[in-house]
Every structure is written in structure tokens, then in C-alpha cells.
């Protein structure tokens, strides 16, 4: 599979992928000395979408075109992702939120709706904490800001809970520790990232056939490279700084929608009230972590009414 991906890298380029998103175009800007890539389409109130690990802007392909019927949709490769820059530092979520704010300013936008999945959800929430005056509404999907609760994550799985599918009662996310290690993951995974990726999709999804072979090839093409692995691991290595930053933030006052899979819904129900005043937590229990792939209709049914309120 490695050679097949490498031989077809051009098929997974921004230029080729955007062809399947009617009305969208690729754009590249420099903010904070960093190149950011984003795909933009539609018109109306701005909705910025931030992807997670191990994906890219393309992960919103199941919902972005539909959202663009009502909103100006801007899907961003965050710092360290896809064809955006991969500097040696700046992977704390406050700095990454600053990248998005600089983009918002460069686009001349006063207030935005912001949606993030996984790591993108962490950055989106950091944006809302740090730039509340620029945040109309916040939506997070299976990814909220790092907190001290992470320190309670187990080194070992609970007996009987580490099976083929991730447990919603006692989730075991061993990669949180693996991604903390500097230098080693690159040596193991360069050119072989699809092995980790395929295992992860199977483990965290109810039906991993919803993550197509083409989707997997897109992400493997992006993450097979040393700099991409280094940069994406840096999102995890900054968690201690993120936790320290979280202690300085006030409660969010803008409307917040948290969408959780069977894995995270109960944890979101417990955690969101501590960080937001005006919130709604919705569970999509027949989906695993990659909600937009497994249950795009349910995601849209949650998003569109909330954005339109």
C-alpha cells in the first residue's frame, strides 16, 4: 500500500481533492509567519471548520458542501496539518487559536461561528476562550479543550475493556502517550502510517467501512511524512501548556454545542457545564469518533438548527 500511495500522491493533492467540492476553492495565506491552507465555499455567515488527527481539511467532505448552501464555509488545515506550515514550535492550542484569529482578521470578519473536531475542537474552544468577542457560536465534536482530567487517563486498560472496539465506559487511548514521545514515532511510521491509521479507524468507529479506501489514502499520503508526524505529535506534546492555559480562562458565554459519539458523550455531559454557561450537549450514540463519516446526516441535523437559532 505504501508504494501505491506514494505513486498516486498527486491524486490526493489539494488541487485534485477540491474538484469534488462544488463551489469551493483552495486558498493560501500567511499569518503569524505561517502558511495556512484553507478551502472556502458558499456564502452567508462565516463558519470556520477545524479538523483533527489524523486527518486534514478533506475530512469535512461529507458535510461542508451541504453547509455551504447556507454559510460561508472555511475549512482550515491547522498549524502542522496538510499543506499548512509545520514549524518547530507553536503547537499549544492558544497559539494555534491565534493563527485562526489572524486569518479571521485578514479576511475582514468581525464574528464567526467555529466548529472543530478532535484536535480541531481543542483549537476551536481555545479560540472561543481567547477571542470571545469574535465568536458567535462554538461547536465541538468529540474534542474539547485539554484539562487536568487527562492526568487521570490510565496507563493500562481496565481488564476486559481493551477489545477490538473502543469502550465508551472506560476508553483506552494509548496513542495519547505514544504521541508524547519525541523523535521515535517518525522513525516507526514514515511510509507506514496506514497501519496505525487503519487500526485507529477500526478501534474508534462502529462501522469503519464508512471511512472509505480513498479517504484513508488521502490521510496516509499526508501523514506518511516525517515533518507531518512530528508536527501532529506536537499537538499532543503541548497538552501540559494547554492545561496551564485553561486555568486562566473564564467560562464561555456564547452559545456552545457539543456533539459526542458513543465514546465521548457522557464525558462531554460531565465536562461542558464547567466551561460554558449557554450550552447544549448532543449524543450521536450510533457513531464512533469520526462522526462526520459515520453519521453525516445526524451531524447536520444537530448543526443546522443550532446555527440558525
| Domain containing residue 121: CATH number | 3.40.50.1820
CB atoms within 10 A of CB 77: 25
pLDDT for residue 56: 98
Q: Identify the CA nearest to 223 among candidates 38, 215, 291.
A: 215
SS3 content of the chain, % helix, strand, coil (to 5): 45, 15, 35
pLDDT for residue 309: 84
CA-to-CA distance for 156 and 161, rounded, in angstroms?
Answer: 10
Q: Dihedral of CA 294/297/298/300: which sign?
A: positive
Q: Identify the CA nearest to 263 among candidates 210, 205, 214.
A: 205
Q: E-strand spans in 142-264?
A: 256-261
pLDDT for residue 3: 60
Domain count along the chain: 1
Contacts of 80 (CB under 8 A, 6+ apart): 86, 91, 228, 231, 232, 234, 235
End-to-end CA distance of the chain: 46
Blockwise average pLDDT, block size 10, the chain, 309 residues = 67 97 97 97 98 98 98 98 98 98 97 98 98 98 94 91 94 96 96 97 98 97 97 98 97 98 96 97 98 98 95
99 and 79 in contact (C-beta within 8 Å)? Answer: yes
237 is in which domain, residue-wise? Answer: 2-308
Q: Reduced to 3 states, what is the DSSP secondary structure of residue 145?
A: coil
pLDDT for residue 12: 96
pLDDT for residue 11: 93
**pTM confidence score:** 0.96
pLDDT for residue 7: 63
Q: Are strands 112-117 and 72-77 parallel, antiparallel or unpaired?
A: unpaired
pLDDT for residue 104: 98
pLDDT for residue 222: 97
Amino acid at each position: 500500500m505504501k508504494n501505491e500511495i506514494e505513486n498516486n500522491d498527486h491524486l490526493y493533492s489539494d488541487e485534485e481533492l477540491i474538484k469534488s467540492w462544488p463551489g469551493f476553492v483552495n486558498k493560501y495565506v500567511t499569518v503569524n509567519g505561517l502558511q495556512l491552507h484553507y478551502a472556502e465555499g458558499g456564502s452567508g455567515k462565516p463558519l470556520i471548520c477545524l479538523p483533527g488527527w489524523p486527518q486534514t481539511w478533506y475530512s469535512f467532505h461529507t458535510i461542508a458542501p451541504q453547509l455551504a448552501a447556507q454559510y460561508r464555509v472555511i475549512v482550515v488545515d491547522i498549524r502542522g496539518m496538510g499543506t499548512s506550515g509545520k514549524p518547530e514550535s507553536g503547537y499549544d492550542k492558544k497559539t494555534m487559536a491565534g493563527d485562526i484569529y489572524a486569518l479571521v482578521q485578514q479576511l475582514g470578519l468581525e464574528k464567526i461561528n467555529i466548529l472543530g473536531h478532535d484536535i480541531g475542537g481543542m483549537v476551536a474552544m481555545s479560540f472561543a476562550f481567547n477571542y470571545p468577542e469574535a465568536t458567535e457560536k462554538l461547536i465541538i465534536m468529540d474534542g474539547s479543550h485539554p484539562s487536568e482530567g487527562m492526568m487521570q487517563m490510565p496507563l493500562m486498560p481496565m481488564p476486559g475493556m481493551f477489545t477490538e472496539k473502543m469502550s465508551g465506559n472506560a476508553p483506552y487511548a494509548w496513542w495519547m502517550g505514544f504521541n508524547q514521545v519525541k523523535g521515535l514515532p517518525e522513525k516507526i511510521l514514515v511510509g507506514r502510517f496506514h497501519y496505525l491509521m487503519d487500526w485507529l479507524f477500526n478501534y474508534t468507529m462502529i462501522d469503519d467501512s464508512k471511512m472509505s479506501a480513498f479517504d484513508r489514502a488521502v490521510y496516509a499520503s499526508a501523514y506518511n511524512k516525517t515533518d507531518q508526524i512530528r508536527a501532529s505529535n506536537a499537538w499532543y506534546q503541548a497538552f501540559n501548556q494547554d492545561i496551564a492555559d485553561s486555568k486562566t480562562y473564564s467560562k464561555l458565554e456564547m452559545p456552545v454545542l457539543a456533539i459526542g459519539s458513543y465514546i465521548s458523550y457522557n464525558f462531554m455531559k460531565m465536562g461542558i457545564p464547567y466551561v460554558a454557561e449557554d450550552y447544549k450537549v448532543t449524543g450521536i450514540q450510533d457513531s464512533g469518533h469520526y462522526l462526520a463519516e459515520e453519521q453525516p446526516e445526524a451531524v447536520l441535523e444537530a448543526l443546522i438548527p443550532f446555527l440558525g437559532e
